[in-house]
Structure 1
Amino acid sequence: MTRGSKSLATELSNLDQMHVDVAIVGAGINGASTAQHLSAAGFRVLLVDQGDFANGATSRSSRLLHCGLRHLATGTDFWQSLKRPDRLIKSMKTVRDDMLARDEIVRTIPDRVKPINFCVPIYSDDQYSPWQMDAAFAALRLTSPTGVPLDYHRYSPQSQNDVPVAPWLRDPSKLRGVAVFREYLFDWPERIALDAIFDAQRMGAIVRNYTQVVGLKQQKGDARWHLTLQPTHQSGSASFCVTADIVLNLAGAWVDELIHKTGSNAAPKCTGIKGIHIALRLPDEFTDWGVFTYNSLGEPLYCLPFRGIHYVGLTRTPFAGDITGVTASDQEIDWMIAETNRCLPKLAVSRDDILYSWAGVNPLTSDPENPLGSREIKVHDHTSDGLPSFLTLTGGPIMTHRRVARRLVAKVKSRLPASNTAQCPDYQSVRSITDQDSNVCVSTEEIERCARDEMPSSLTDLLMRRLGLGWEPDQGIEQARSVAEVAAPILGWSDAQVETELRSYQRHLASVRRR
């Protein structure tokens, strides 16, 4: 049998009436990193997630280790941006955070990122001129003068054919140049989150996936928070109570839902923005090359190389539906195909070229002046809402997860002494892979280790997040049966259950990764 309701309920019963220093709700990359850093600082931590670890926005992003250019090149007129110095200052702070995060990630876990050549076409009808692009990269460099190089170079119209993807760009007669710089992609953020989670566990943290907070309150005369926990999708099962001195609400797009479980009617803190991507194969000229340009709405469009294929995104639309089952609709896929063909017309992409799609909801910070939210990374202290020792994070992207974690550790330290001795976090990955012709090969030992030590509840958990095979061109279908059969003895799956898991994975791909 899988690690199902019975075993999970047993795990939760072991926590009943336990007290921790800090309870973290949400095990995406920010919750994972915060659990790791708090545990290292000596705090007793509980980390729970209503789904699998890193299965929200962490696993559904563009996977870019942004240098911060997008915060300067927003698609709006350069001179208009100068009329709002407050926003410009915020943008520059965000740029600096991105650049410093980029430096740290590339230097400490180089095996988890892949360098790419990123080109930005500059058109005569763009909002930005070539000199403004030069100025933007000079500003980026000033935010981190000794950091990881950007290797920026702008090719003139006479030399732009030195860029392999230039002949594929739209409107060659309007090209005033092509800017090229070095960017990095995460491979893959779910693994970084999992490594942080299990390093936190090594240092004493209690971590539980598929565990829902069904109750959250403070009792009269008791400053502690009382969290009622229950296995997800098991509403009839027993619930268990854990107390914590501080609650960190890092539930991503679900943060407002968790706030409301306290009984508070606080104003929304998060604006959920839906984005989709499509994956496809591109000509050989695109190998290790990406494109950063603008779609017909004046918003960024990325074309990114990943494991022998490319993916293109993204859309940005407000989303208020069921986040759990968010998928790319036919209309969105068609729009993304049309925008790809607008920016790279010679590709002539059709539905038949789509390998798979994915969709996610980005938990941005609510901003009354912007219906699409703000990218400001904000920690909300809910004391004024009548919720002392309750903090909510909004707007924390993948690349700044360690800086966010340290910021939250500082806030916890200012309120509470640590229970245990400080330790050193280990940022190195425990996951070993070999890459042969862009096909990830996973050893039997690695499958066994993930099944035994990393709390998967299904074959989908293994393939999508622990082994990363779901991101291959075939989405791991070729290796799915062998993975299931190796994991079966450890997870207690019968032959019939193996078949059930295989069918379930196929259904997952058909619904969540639809073409």
Structure 2
Amino acid sequence: MTAAQSTAAAASPAPNAQPYDVLVVGGGINGAGIARDLAGRGWKVLLAERDDFASHTSSSSTKLIHGGLRYLEYYEFSLVRKALQEREVLLKSAPHIMWPLRFVMPHDPAMRPAWMIRAGLFLYDHLARREVLPGSTSVNLRSSPVGKPLKLSYTRGFVYSDGWVNDARLVLLNALDAQEKGAELLTRSAVTAVQREADAWVATIATPEGERVVRARALVNAAGPWAESFLRGIARPARGEALATKSLRLVKGSHIVVKRCFEHDHAYIFQNPDKRIIFAIPYEDDYTLIGTTDVELPQEALAGLSKAQINEQEIAYLCEQASRYFAKPVTRADVVWSYAGVRPLLDDASGDPSAVTRDYLLESNTLGAPLLSVWGGKITTFRKLAEDAADLVGGMLGDKRQAWTEKAYLPGGDLREWIGAPKRPDTDFERLVTAVRQRHIWLPEALARRLCRAYGSRIGRVLGGASNLAELGQEVAPGLYEIELRYLQREEWARGAEDVLWRRSKLGLHYSEAQRRAVADWFQAHPAAGM
């Protein structure tokens, strides 16, 4: 160490703090995506997440990769075009967790005139190039199978394309890719204090193993609903300037899950008298997912909030609106599960929460060590948001490195070792299932398909060298074997039953309370190393 370095270390409040280029705060889709992009550009990255990956907003979406058809009514053409461009980029990057989905919009003349819908769908079809997704068309609901579950009063409708995503696994795949490209990722590790210096941020992180102090040349605030409160309460400026210059509007979106309302593979988009829309989507084979609501929350509601909860008024609203269309009414008794998430929307002074922009803003602050704050955003545009963020961080650090994610696969998404050259994301997945069953003829069909959906081309890492069902170990719950639990614990940061049953998968929806308890008991008997 030179004399100058010794002097600088002695003057630092944390001379032994571990150095990084970038500290990312938040393990939702934006934080994980940014960490992945930065690590792929060669930056030394540390991500700290207070809970588990995708514990909050990023596992509580409507699970759509979509342009946002309804945003056209608010003249959000730039946002819609950006999202439409991203649909097929994402579908190609991970065909095991994302796939095309056709949507049926029954026409209700009392809502919007047919010409307006046709004009909107024309724009939706042509604002961005499509290679995989078919365009929109009209449909006779009385003669089509998609009209069978609907009331007889709905005679015509429209069909268009978007995509479906397993949102929590999308976050996990970004985290895995970030780690494989050199990033360090900490879960259950809250950033409790962060102090800005002229050329670095000094952060204190409460990890399960104890307190850590780190130094980072730049800080990325991707704390989602907590982004504003993080700047106002935890991050400390070098001088007296305010770090938070924007405000968030917190809007709770809730969903219900009911037994399957229809047999076909299309989803529905329903227009409501309040000018909002809800979706009814095939879910987990046996169910229908219905959502979402828009309920504004005050900032103070975040204090002590461990998990957003749906309320009875929201359940009643979703049941009522779905029942306006389905011939068989949806009732409170039909609800088998529900979830809610808090969307952090950039405050644009809109009166109606449904009208608040879903676009994102990346705010740079260089009054000292670089700070980048992420305001707003939606899951469909996370990759572009991360790319833009990495460009800005590189610029602030004086080294704007090359973007790389647009043509890259997410972990498990490159199926070539199993199926050869890719053709279409949807048919490629079916080819993967066939190839896996040919190589592992002992795997039950339902289990093979579920494992392909969850892990894609990484399925071999889950199965290890197993050559028969017995070598998968104990069947802890139906279709869930010890070998998979050990993989999730070893490679996907799973630390308990909830991580596995409700985020790494949705097996909890299919299991009884006793079966869910068996998974919890397994984790209690087999704690992860260091726990």
On whether the aligned pair clears a TM of 0.5, the verdict is yes
In structure 1, the gaps of 5 or more residues are 1-14, 75-80, 82-87, 498-515
Q: Following TM superposition, by how much is the alpha carbon of 1:141 offset from its aligned partner in structure 2, in angstroms?
A: 2.5
Instruction: State the percentage of identical aligned residues.
Output: 24
The answer (yes or no) to whether the contact 1:302–1:313 under 8 Å persists in 2 is yes
Q: Following TM superposition, by how much is the alpha carbon of 1:168 offset from its aligned partner in structure 2, in angstroms?
A: 3.8
Asked whether 1:377 is paired with 2:357, we answer no
CA 225–358 in structure 1, closer or farther in 2 if over 3 Å, else same: same
Please, which of 238, 247, 250 is the counterpart of residue 219 of structure 2?
247
Please, which of 463, 466, 486 is the counterpart of residue 448 of structure 1?
486
Q: Following TM superposition, by how much is the alpha carbon of 1:207 offset from its aligned partner in structure 2, in angstroms?
A: 0.4
* Amino acid corresponding to residue 316 of structure 1 in structure 2: D
Q: CA RMSD in A?
A: 3.1
The answer (yes or no) to whether the contact 1:195–1:430 under 8 Å persists in 2 is no
* Amino acid corresponding to residue 203 of structure 2 in structure 1: L
TM-score (norm 2): 0.76
Q: Following TM superposition, by how much is the alpha carbon of 1:377 offset from its aligned partner in structure 2, in angstroms?
A: 1.4
Q: Residue in 2 aligned with 1:217? A: 195
Q: Following TM superposition, by how much is the alpha carbon of 1:490 offset from its aligned partner in structure 2, in angstroms?
A: 4.4
Q: Following TM superposition, by how much is the alpha carbon of 1:332 offset from its aligned partner in structure 2, in angstroms?
A: 1.9
The answer (yes or no) to whether the contact 2:372–2:393 under 8 Å persists in 1 is no
User: Matches of 1:403 and 1:29 in 2, distance apart?
Assistant: 12
User: Matches of 2:228 and 2:523 in 1, distance apart?
Assistant: 37
Q: Residue in 1 aligned with 2:128? A: 144
Q: Residue in 2 aligned with 1:84? A: none
User: Matches of 1:370 and 1:137 in 2, distance apart?
Assistant: 26
Q: Residue in 2 aligned with 1:69? A: 69
The answer (yes or no) to whether the contact 1:119–1:180 under 8 Å persists in 2 is yes
Question: Secondary structure, in 3 states, of the residue corresponding to 1:445?
Answer: helix
Write out aligned runs for 1:279-294 (5 A): 279-283=257-261, 285-294=262-271
User: Matches of 1:279 and 1:266 in 2, distance apart?
Assistant: 37
Please, which of 156, 179, 203 is the counterpart of residue 158 of structure 2?
179
Please, which of 128, 135, 154 is the counterpart of residue 119 of structure 2?
135
Deviation digits for residues 146-176 of structure 1 (CA, Å, limit 9, x no counterpart): 4332331112xxx32233242443571xx57
The answer (yes or no) to whether the contact 2:363–2:372 under 8 Å persists in 1 is yes
The answer (yes or no) to whether the contact 1:451–1:490 under 8 Å persists in 2 is no
User: Matches of 2:401 and 2:80 in 1, distance apart?
Assistant: 36
The answer (yes or no) to whether the contact 1:26–1:250 under 8 Å persists in 2 is yes
Q: Which moved more, 1:359-368 or 1:116-125?
A: 116-125
Please, which of 321, 329, 335 is the counterpart of residue 317 of structure 2?
335
Asked whether 1:398 is paired with 2:382, we answer no
Q: Following TM superposition, by how much is the alpha carbon of 1:457 offset from its aligned partner in structure 2, in angstroms?
A: 2.7
Q: Following TM superposition, by how much is the alpha carbon of 1:445 offset from its aligned partner in structure 2, in angstroms?
A: 2.3
The answer (yes or no) to whether the contact 2:391–2:403 under 8 Å persists in 1 is no
Question: Secondary structure, in 3 states, of the residue corresponding to 1:287?
Answer: coil
* Amino acid corresponding to residue 235 of structure 2 in structure 1: T
The answer (yes or no) to whether the contact 1:43–1:419 under 8 Å persists in 2 is no
Q: Residue in 2 aligned with 1:368? A: 349
Q: Following TM superposition, by how much is the alpha carbon of 1:50 offset from its aligned partner in structure 2, in angstroms?
A: 0.8
Q: Residue in 2 aligned with 1:359? A: 340
TM-score (norm 1): 0.79
User: Matches of 2:317 and 2:16 in 1, distance apart?
Assistant: 49
Asked which structure has the greater RCO (Cα within 8 Å, sep 6+), the reply is: 1
CA 381–171 in structure 1, closer or farther in 2 if over 3 Å, else same: farther
Q: Residue in 1 aligned with 2:28? A: 28
Q: Following TM superposition, by how much is the alpha carbon of 1:417 offset from its aligned partner in structure 2, in angstroms?
A: 5.2
Q: Following TM superposition, by how much is the alpha carbon of 1:245 offset from its aligned partner in structure 2, in angstroms?
A: 1.2
CA 106–265 in structure 1, closer or farther in 2 if over 3 Å, else same: closer
CA 48–430 in structure 1, closer or farther in 2 if over 3 Å, else same: farther
The answer (yes or no) to whether the contact 2:56–2:307 under 8 Å persists in 1 is no
User: Matches of 1:374 and 1:117 in 2, distance apart?
Assistant: 25
Give the count of matched residue pairs: 446
The answer (yes or no) to whether the contact 1:42–1:418 under 8 Å persists in 2 is no
Deviation digits for residues 89-129 of structure 1 (CA, Å, limit 9, x no counterpart): xx1111111111101111221111233331012222123x2
CA 318–268 in structure 1, closer or farther in 2 if over 3 Å, else same: farther
Question: Secondary structure, in 3 states, of the residue corresponding to 1:67?
Answer: coil
Q: Residue in 2 aligned with 1:104? A: 89
Question: Secondary structure, in 3 states, of the residue corresponding to 1:199?
Answer: helix
Q: Following TM superposition, by how much is the alpha carbon of 1:193 offset from its aligned partner in structure 2, in angstroms?
A: 1.2
In structure 2, the gaps of 5 or more residues are 1-14, 237-241, 415-431, 434-443, 452-478
User: Matches of 2:445 and 2:137 in 1, distance apart?
Assistant: 30
CA 422–352 in structure 1, closer or farther in 2 if over 3 Å, else same: closer
Write out aligned runs for 1:262-301 (5 A): 262-263=235-236, 264=242, 266-283=244-261, 285-301=262-278
User: Matches of 2:413 and 2:67 in 1, distance apart?
Assistant: 27
Q: Following TM superposition, by how much is the alpha carbon of 1:200 offset from its aligned partner in structure 2, in angstroms?
A: 1.2
The answer (yes or no) to whether the contact 1:41–1:418 under 8 Å persists in 2 is no
Please, which of 187, 202, 206 is the counterpart of residue 184 of structure 2?
206
The answer (yes or no) to whether the contact 2:251–2:345 under 8 Å persists in 1 is yes
User: Matches of 2:251 and 2:358 in 1, distance apart?
Assistant: 11
Q: Following TM superposition, by how much is the alpha carbon of 1:52 offset from its aligned partner in structure 2, in angstroms?
A: 0.6
